[in-house]
Chains A and B, each alone.
Chain A
Amino acid sequence: MSEKRTISTNQLYWKPEKQDPFILEHVESTFEKGYIYGIIGPNGSGKTSLIRNLLRLVEPSSGSVELDGENIQSIKRKHLARKMAMVPQHTGMDSTFCAYDIVMMGRAPYQKRFADAGVQDKEIVKEAMQITDCYQFREKEVSLLSGGEIQRVATARAIAQDTDWLILDEPTASLDVRHQVALMESLVGLKENQNKSVIIILHDINIASEYCDRIVMMKDGTIYSQGDTKEVLTCENLEETYGIAFHLIMEPDTGKRYFMPAGKRGGTL
């Protein structure tokens, strides 16, 4: 029997403090290796909280998260870091490290404590920075970089971490259109060439529609719908989740689907 590589959540409930209401309620999902998953949903639906639970940045209030069948709470952090890498939403990098050093930090889970970067580390870092097109400003201090450039550096670091899973929290937020497309294309490339699996939180439904194999649609702290993109992304589901009407425009020859928000529910364009 072939071992399926998965990250799964089992009846996951989470809230930040005892006195707070639940942010995540009864989240049951399985992410399978080899796909690009898009997590979409309105603000406050729990998307970021979900991936923070997946990455073991927080502890579940009840339920569990499992990596390849093993509860992540019992996996050593360093080993977990070799399996999952994160690109956070707010990188808040006002430090004086240069871009290259930041990306090299992604090699930390593999390096010995006092060792300097090895030849292999340097090669991996260089390749990662070339994939996200930030190698040219590797010597620059991150505090002097633009939001989009910092985003690319953070993504390069996650790539350099050489993990099975890449988990990104709205990385396209501060990127211009060209770099948005470039990032998504590079994620597809990483999936196909380096066998990486991707979980990405997206605001742009059409980017999700174009690049993601599967969708997890969240609403009010729970999963509203999940599965193949074509099945999950429907006007009805989108309306239920986002509370506004959508129009679906299909390109007849390619089968590509575009969703246009249509203003008030039931209103006309």
Chain B
Amino acid sequence: MKQDQKQNKKQIRKMHWFLLLTTILILSIFSSALTGSAGLSIGDSFRMFVSEIPILGKWVSIAETQSVYHKIVWEIRMPRIMMAGLTGYGLSVVGVAFQGIFKNPLADPHILGTSSGAALGATLAIMAGSVFPMTGLGLIGASAFLTSMLTVLLVYRIACTGNRLSSVNMILTGTAVSMMLSSFISLMMSLNHDQIEKVYLWTLGSFSAAGWEKVIFLFILILPSSMGILFFAKELDAISTGDETAESLGIDTVRVRKIIILLASLMVAACVSVSGIIGFVGLVVPHVMRLISGPKNKILLPLSGVGGAVFVIFCDTLARNLIAPSELPVGVITALIGAPYFVILLQRNKRKLGNG
């Protein structure tokens, strides 16, 4: 049947895109590992990289190169690249999920106030760190994670009326709470001038304080949660066409929403607490991927995840190499690339994203 053939071709094409993106991801991990400000030659970086790969490693001898080079590739660059990839993956998946649940093409991971909550926690920790000389990043991260989850709970409680949860209510409440927290943060910053730079830089987003423990933390929180969201791909499809319709199809929309928001918030809280607020990834990547894969979440979710990982690894590579040995905050790069691209997308798809 002609219809079947067409459908099969479409499926195959989407698989091709997925494989292509995954290949690009591996390549970007690889090439990013080869670049850096530490003065390693590409050849040295290459050897260091390959030496840890199970089978290929035997072919490479690293005896002549300094052990510190190994450290640079595997303890500084690779964790950072992994963090960037996982963050990009997580934020993009959440972006897709939120755009579906809230039926809003402008929804992004930060819409429920998770990131403002995290920023507040980080600010408090940084301020506290100046008063009590406690350890830096562990406390900041933990504090940020805690406050971001509390913020989501707060937004959820405020927005819920009875058992019904309206998308508009949640978004408005999230926005309001975000603004409230931001102004509180500004207040604290104005009362503690010497900490302004630290807080500000934290909120701009950066992967410079990377480490394998953070990678594992991200991995444990992000991968299973994203699988959980993928589990509800069909429900997400139906919910994005209307709550009542989805319910009449047998979907418990209240329960599905709760679960997805919970999983998504875990992912965003993890990302933000580890590396600050990185914007535009969760907003732009889903739209770009949707042009390739169409709106079905079964394909859009993983595709956006991989696409987001590539994007953020790319941005972070730029962030740490453009003005080497200095660094730009990666959140700035994602915004500088993401925002103009988003405008271009809007121009091209005026009808689809906005008014018919």
Contact = CB atoms under 8 A, between A and B. Distances in A.
Interface of A: 17, 52, 55-57, 76-82, 84-86, 88, 91-97, 101-102, 105-106, 108-109, 111, 113-114, 122, 141, 143-144, 154, 161
A106 B244 contact: no
B250 A94 contact: no
Given A77-B247, A113-B231, 13 more contacts: A56-B247, A57-B247, A76-B250, A78-B250, A88-B244, A88-B248, A91-B245, A92-B242, A101-B295, A111-B234, A122-B3, A122-B4, A141-B352
B252 interface: yes
Given A93-B242, A95-B240, A105-B241, A86 B352 contact: no
Interface in B158-186: 161-162
Contacts of A80: 250
B244 A57 contact: yes
A185 B230 CA distance: 41
Given A93-B242, A96-B352, A105 B247 contact: no
Contacts of A56: 247
B250 A77 contact: yes
Interface in B227-281: 231, 234, 237-238, 240-242, 244-245, 247-252
Contacts of B242: 88, 91-93
Given A17-B162, A97-B237, A108-B234, A84 B295 contact: no
Interface string B310-344: 00000000000000000000000000000000000
B14 interface: no
B160 to A, nearest CB: 12
Given A17-B162, A81-B250, A144-B351, A97 B245 contact: no
B70 interface: no
Interface of B: 3-4, 103, 161-162, 231, 234, 237-238, 240-242, 244-245, 247-252, 290, 294-296, 298, 351-352, 356
A107 to B, nearest CB: 9
B247 A96 contact: no
B241 A93 contact: yes
B5 to A, nearest CB: 13
B356 A108 contact: no
A129 B240 CA distance: 21
A114 B237 contact: no
Most buried by A among B4, B296, B352: B352
Contact of B248 (A85, A95, A102): A85
B248 A97 contact: no
B248 A94 contact: no
A125 B89 CA distance: 35
A96 B250 contact: no
B241 A108 contact: no
A88 to B, nearest CB: 6
A96 B295 CA distance: 6
Given A78-B250, A94-B356, A161-B249, A86 B237 contact: no
Nearest to B163: A59
Contacts of B231: 113
Contact of A102 (B4, B241, B247, B252): B241
Contacts of A106: 249
A123 to B, nearest CB: 10
Contacts of A93: 241-242
B245 A86 contact: yes
Nearest to A52: B244
Contact of B241 (A97, A111, A161): A97
Given A88-B242, A105-B238, A108-B234, A95 B249 contact: no
A57 B163 CA distance: 12
B247 A109 contact: no
B302 to A, nearest CB: 12
Nearest to A116: B11
B291 to A, nearest CB: 10
Contacts of A161: 249
A108 B236 CA distance: 12
Contact of A143 (B238, B248, B352): B352
Given A17-B162, A80-B250, A81-B250, A96 B245 contact: no
A44 to B, nearest CB: 19
A154 B238 CA distance: 12
B8 to A, nearest CB: 11
A211 B162 CA distance: 39
24 contacts: A17-B162, A55-B247, A55-B248, A57-B247, A77-B247, A77-B250, A85-B248, A93-B241, A95-B241, A95-B295, A96-B290, A97-B295, A97-B296, A105-B241, A108-B249, A108-B250, A109-B249, A109-B250, A114-B298, A143-B351, A143-B352, A143-B356, A154-B245, A161-B249
Most buried by A among B161, B231, B249, B290: B249
Contacts of B247: 55-57, 77
Nearest to A146: B356
A122 B3 CA distance: 10
